[in-house]
Structure 1
């Protein structure tokens, strides 16, 4: 029986992934900050719940040791994360650092804890949840975008190092997900950006900027990444992620950015300067 270790398994994509892998005959080690509150996964066979906050290195190391005591681990799914939405100047230092502590450094520390084990086995796979926002950019989410772009670039670099030991690394990049993810976002406000925010929200509503898929659909992409044996770094997950990332790839980043400027009713500051 193969085993997957999942972070952020208390809700949304993490929980859906845990349920899917369990149904496929895998053992699942589902980690979350408060496993004592979980009422669904703890009812399933071959699912082990462990407490872990990805911003706490001591807790990470403790959970990893506990995972090893239960048997082998084949796949690590770095899924824990959250969104920070709003203009940069409205963020506190704590919010900016907290976004990277969870979305980027949490992935780094969990991966670092597992590498020696996978090196000894000369096998293993890391899968990271990035985002459509790690493949394209959107307004009002600069730090969130940066944290997800960081994981994309870090994973590509790590792919060379890990290949020396026959260890794989992949990213699953979802677009919108129908889950409680939107409810746990940190959102800050600044009236100066009102029209821009309104246009962005219209794009989320009409599907131009993002659509929302069931978490189970995204979990199926995680399962595909874990089992297809392909040498592929990033899997856009959901119709919007596939469509929009491919559009940017075909247009090129500059043409895509300028088209988004137009959609958002923004005028280039360079055009404004040239006209004055």
Structure 2
């Protein structure tokens, strides 16, 4: 597996020049675009890696997957009354559909949908408890106690978060947020600023490859039907207006983040995390997606078999 991962990185390396870092967030603009890492966590819990797989990076929108799992655990199917499950076909921070659809986001993996998910997880409790729940899940599943919020990145996102605030206030005007907008956005910025390495991220996502159950500990993180539905949302919506291209080339459920990370799930096999900070026009890591494409070509993994 480590040879396959190294080969995948070698194939993908030239794609680093095809993208650009998320320079609209000042703290992310300083990240070295030449970084490239990948890791695979398998059924026995062993995590194989190559390249810069041990360097922490800002997981950004990949956090939405784990927040979705937590919110569904807390409020159940009622969550779908406030957020849909359809691909958006628009950029991750678009406000256009919100007006047409009366403040209900198209899916939980675009920014507006993720803000609704964060609001649901906060519920009527203290906002900070939502971040505590996220960190507890990530640390527990990754087996690593040093996963934390990068507060510098969170502050940088808040300072440049006018569009996300607009989304929040627009949804609030339709009654689709229960908590104060600034409170919800404060948690949203912090969840996106969690820093993890590829090894940690692959291990944390492993339960989604095995019907919601950690294959090593046997712990049911979520019911099998919920894990499959989270994977289906990732497959359809995990890369915004680039989701179809990713499904076509990679054929696995995945979620990208503008920090350059991608979490991909190979059901029955394991979880893969790739990282390269330079992004394509849709906000997905150019080299990371290429590495995953090279990996599935070598392993034959795909949901379309």
**Is the TM-score greater than 0.5?**
no
Give TM-score, length-normalised by structure 2.
Answer: 0.25
Structure with the larger RCO, 1 or 2 (CA within 8 Å, 6+ apart): 2
Give TM-score, length-normalised by structure 1.
Answer: 0.27
**Higher normalized strand content (fraction of residues):** 1
